[in-house]
Structure 1
Amino acid sequence: MDKRDKRFAQILDLINQNSDQVTIEHFCTELGVSPATVRRDLAHLQETGMIMRVSGGAVRIEPVSAATSVSDSHGVPTEQESDILIEEKRRIAQAAVALIEPGDTVFIDGGTTNLEIARKIAELSHVSVITTSIQAAYILSANPEISVIVCGGHMREIEAAESTIAPLAEKVIAHFRANMCFLSTLGIHTKNGITTPYLFTAQLKRLMMQSSAKSVLVTDHTKFGKTYSAFVCPVEQFDYIITGASSPEDDVAALQAKGVSVVLV
């Protein structure tokens, strides 16, 4: 187990030992690392569905046990599971970018799947991207033929990719109209819809959808069946949902019954 995996195991132990929120300061003291390192680790663990980030720290979603699929005895995702997810995200990104035409304007929000989309868009030309993701903007800026606009606002590591939130970002989004938006999610449920732990994030996603001709949800199979407190929209408001081929068959069928075009990759 390398240093990062050891930290993941320690973080999970600390969270499972506490019924309340564990603060970033407490993680720093116990692990002997910087706040930035803790935030990155928490973002990764949230992306895998093992914890939930909250303001100033993290809480457990459910007790982590050795029964977790493809995980080691500490509940930490193994190299095999991480590889499966990154390959799935890259396939999702490839399918998403295939929808883009030269001259298009697209919105992208935060999340590791959208970072893979940004890497694919960076290979194109004559595309304009408006994003709340600082990392996505940095990736895209390497190509001078891609026009990049970053929404202003407070920067928060609410997902694996830093994102800007707050009213200033909302005002920037409202000034543009896009051919499509690519949105990530932490929770997709056929009845409860698309949800996130963060109210501001939910609002930004809705604004991007309202300002786009088409809305595309990009999500790996681990996000199905999860519901968080902040409601974004019903699943049927998306024109496309691009997800992994291993997503639950019943959920995929339910989405299709609601008229959503589901792309399995």
Structure 2
Amino acid sequence: MTTPNRVTRDTSERRRQITTMIKSRGSVQVAPLSDMFGVSMQTIRKDLHYLEMHGIAARAYGGAIAAEVVNISEAPIEAKQISHTGEKERIGRMAAALVEPGDSIMLDSGTTALQIARFLPDEEDITIVTNDFGVLGALSQKRHLKIVMLGGELRRKNMAFYGAQTLASLEDLRLDKLFLGVDGFDIERGITTHFEPEAQLNRKMVQAARRVIAVTDSSKFGKVCLHRIIDISEIDDLITDSDAPDYIQHPENGLNFRLHLA
């Protein structure tokens, strides 16, 4: 029979080892830790919650990230609208040029998506799906595009819709292209965002699209937000500006996406 003192020592040692792994690797996942220590995933989740409460880690999809590398604060939409406007405009114009007659596309929420909407050709055989209120406003100025708005609960911080209704409305959709906005873009930790329902919706969008095109200005590279959307390997294209770091621009980096510099 295991004594309480032994259980306490085992728990403390396990958490010490997990802390060391988080600090050395930057992140950990629940399932591998469960196998490594021979305990349940629920026990590992309790460990990660304990480390989060002590400022060591921040919980993320399927695991945890070192607290010092996580960009927790989300800028209000008013700040985003005046940040890197020239880069976003060039990215939006280049992204819109990838839309072909007959395409059905999805525009994620965000100020870069708004620029894409501005430059889309106004043609009757193009269908646009979005959950972003601002994008809807820009698209409504075009007379011929077919527009599909995803419903749900309005999140006023970024003026976009989320929730179970939004997810359900994607179930039967199959689209040609998704233009996916980015809050954080890190080679190891993937594409991340601040808002968990947005991460859930974005993953659903990825599943519904035949081609995933990430759109971001260069300020997002190297940043990690709390909630993971997808790995970098899951995108087909990346549209960014010419200030992107060398490891993004050089073809010998081993990344599989097609790079477009605006």
TM-score between the two structures when normalised by the length of structure 1 = 0.67
| Structure 2 match to 1:178 | 175
Percent identity reads: 28
Q: Over residues 214-237 of structure 1, what are the superposed CA-to-partner deviations in whole Å (9 max), with x where a residue is unaligned?
A: 000000011111101101011111
Q: Over residues 30-87 of structure 1, what are the superposed CA-to-partner deviations in whole Å (9 max), with x where a residue is unaligned?
A: xxxxxxxxxxx82233x38xxxxxxxxxxxxxxxxxxxxxxxxxxxx8xxxx5xx212
User: In the alignment, which of 206, 210, 226 is matched to residue 209 of structure 1?
Assistant: 206
1:241–1:263: 8 Å Cα contact kept in structure 2?
Answer: yes
User: In the alignment, which of 31, 42, 61 is matched to residue 76 of structure 2?
Assistant: 42
| Structure 1 match to 2:111 | 112
Q: Over residues 200-254 of structure 1, what are the superposed CA-to-partner deviations in whole Å (9 max), with x where a residue is unaligned?
A: 1011111111111100000001111110110101111110010000011124338
Shift of 1:93: 1.1
1:256–1:262: 8 Å Cα contact kept in structure 2?
Answer: no
Matches within 5 A, 1:188-207: 188-207=185-204
| Structure 2 match to 1:262 | 259
Work out whether 1:219 is the aligned partner of 2:216. Answer: yes
TM-score between the two structures when normalised by the length of structure 2 = 0.67
| Structure 1 match to 2:97 | 98
Inter-partner Cα distance in structure 2 for 1:249 and 1:169: 37
| Structure 1 match to 2:164 | 167
Inter-partner Cα distance in structure 2 for 1:247 and 1:255: 15
Inter-partner Cα distance in structure 2 for 1:263 and 1:157: 32
Question: Which amino acid in structure 2 is aligned with residue 219 of structure 1?
Answer: T
Shift of 1:95: 1.3
Work out whether 1:241 is the aligned partner of 2:238. Answer: yes
1:255–1:262: 8 Å Cα contact kept in structure 2?
Answer: no
Alignment CA distance shift 1:239-1:212 (3 Å): same
Matches within 5 A, 1:15-30: none
Give aligned pairs, total.
189
Shift of 1:137: 1.1
| Structure 1 match to 2:132 | 133
5+ residue gaps, structure 2: 1-74
Alignment CA distance shift 1:116-1:219 (3 Å): same
Inter-partner Cα distance in structure 1 for 2:254 and 2:78: 33
2:122–2:144: 8 Å Cα contact kept in structure 1?
Answer: no
Inter-partner Cα distance in structure 1 for 2:249 and 2:85: 21
Partner of 2:204, secondary structure, is helix
Shift of 1:181: 0.4
Question: Which amino acid in structure 1 is aligned with residue 130 of structure 2?
Answer: T
| Structure 1 match to 2:144 | 145
Work out whether 1:252 is the aligned partner of 2:249. Answer: yes
Q: Say which is worse superposed, 141-150 or 181-190, in terms of deviation.
A: 141-150
5+ residue gaps, structure 1: 1-40, 49-76
Shift of 1:126: 2.2
Q: Over residues 98-145 of structure 1, what are the superposed CA-to-partner deviations in whole Å (9 max), with x where a residue is unaligned?
A: 211111100111110100000111544421001000111121122221
1:218–1:243: 8 Å Cα contact kept in structure 2?
Answer: yes
Which consecutive segments of 4 or more residues in structure 1 shift more than 2 A?
A: 41-45, 122-126, 250-256
Inter-partner Cα distance in structure 2 for 1:108 and 1:180: 9
Inter-partner Cα distance in structure 1 for 2:182 and 2:195: 11
Shift of 1:256: 4.9
